[in-house]
Amino acid sequence: MKIGIPRGLLYYYYYPLWTTFFEVLGAEVILSEKTNKQIVDNGVKNTVDDACLPIKVYHGHVIDLKDKVDLVFVPKMMSVHKDEYICPKFCGLPEMVKSSIKDLPNMIDITIDFHKSKKNLSRTVNEMGSYITKDRNKIDFAFEKALKEHENYKAKIKSGMLPIDVEEHKILKNINSYKEKAQILLIGHPYNIYDAYLSMNIIEKLRKYDLDVITQDSFDAKVINKKAAIMDKKMFWSFGRKLLGSAFYGMEQKNIQGIIYLSSFGCGIDSVIADIIERRIRRNSDKPFILLTIDEHTGEAGINTRIEAFVDMIKWRGKNENNFSTHGKYLSAH
């Protein structure tokens, strides 16, 4: 049996878990191609206009798989943390895909919803495995193996690799030398920052300037949560909490020379979170910050120019005056 996994949305966080689970159960896992122009164009053509870019691109990935597999895995990911949700667009994803794309194979459209607790984890896992076997022991065994893979993956990220490096099987032998370089904190939804096509390869572009790129996934969850908790109200969007906590923590770290927020057009969560982050950084720190927004029409030249200007400013500051800021109260002091 061939199971298709679209390389979009939370693929970048969970693909080791999902692929291991299905493979241990005996299925052949087929991934969609990496995002390319055809996938983006197909997604844009086959999704409602007001969807955000990542949702459109996800549709393109499903189209890429639909004639190659027996089942396509499109989970309805409502919540993965207690008292939090991911995004309203994730909650209706299988329905949106079914109504937008014709001639789909059968779909594994299980609901993943842990907002009350993880008590229904076992039922969810069983439902996911039952598309391949009804043998509960086999399903439990496969999930145990998959969890181990997931933990290994998370450990690699903690050791300094980014999901994009693990996916490419890149061994960063020089992780320590990377750590000695000037650091840039790149934040954004994983499907924006780790998708090389959508992000216009921003990670590699920054590395070519001899910068060490870290992301929200490079920080410990406890640190992120503690920093996010300084908000007056609890952030109930998981992405929002993670991005806020990472930015608040990052803006206090001396070795981080600048913060880039990569957002996609049409994201309601980003429009709020990016604004809060930008205001806090401008008010409470002298860190350079830039918001880059991508959509299906974004030209690479424009993004390159903005990255180049940002990096130039950081390098100039490093060489000249450490405390010189292009904004806020520090400006008047010089």
- Work out which of 7, 66, 189, 241 binds ligand SF4, going by CB under 6 A: 189
The answer to whether residue 87 forms part of the interface with ligand SF4 (CB under 6 A) is yes
| DSSP-based helix, strand, coil % in the chain, nearest 5 | 50, 15, 35
- Work out which of 56, 61, 89, 227 binds ligand SF4, going by CB under 6 A: 89
Distance CA 128, CA 24 (A): 13
Q: Which of 25, 31, 10 is nearest to 125 (CA)?
A: 25
The answer to whether residue 54 forms part of the interface with ligand SF4 (CB under 6 A) is yes
Binding pattern to ligand SF4, positions 267-306, x when CB under 6 A? xxxx------------------------------------
The answer to whether residue 205 forms part of the interface with ligand SF4 (CB under 6 A) is no
Kindly tell me which of 21 and 58 has the beta carbon lying closer to ligand SF4: 58
Distance CA 184, CA 239 (A): 20
Residues 110-169 that bind ligand SF4 (CB under 6 A): none
CB 90 within 8 A of CB 110: no
- Work out which of 18, 73, 239, 289 binds ligand SF4, going by CB under 6 A: 239
Kindly tell me which of 13 and 239 has the beta carbon lying closer to ligand SF4: 239
Long-range contacts of 117-125 (CB under 8 A, 24+ apart): 117/82, 118/82
Kindly tell me which of 211 and 294 has the beta carbon lying closer to ligand SF4: 294
Q: Which of 226, 213, 227 is nearest to 262 (CA)?
A: 213
CB atoms within 10 A of CB 160: 16
Kindly tell me which of 209 and 265 has the beta carbon lying closer to ligand SF4: 265
Q: By the criterion CB under 6 A, which residues form the site for ligand SF4?
A: 52, 54-55, 87, 89, 189, 239, 264, 267-270
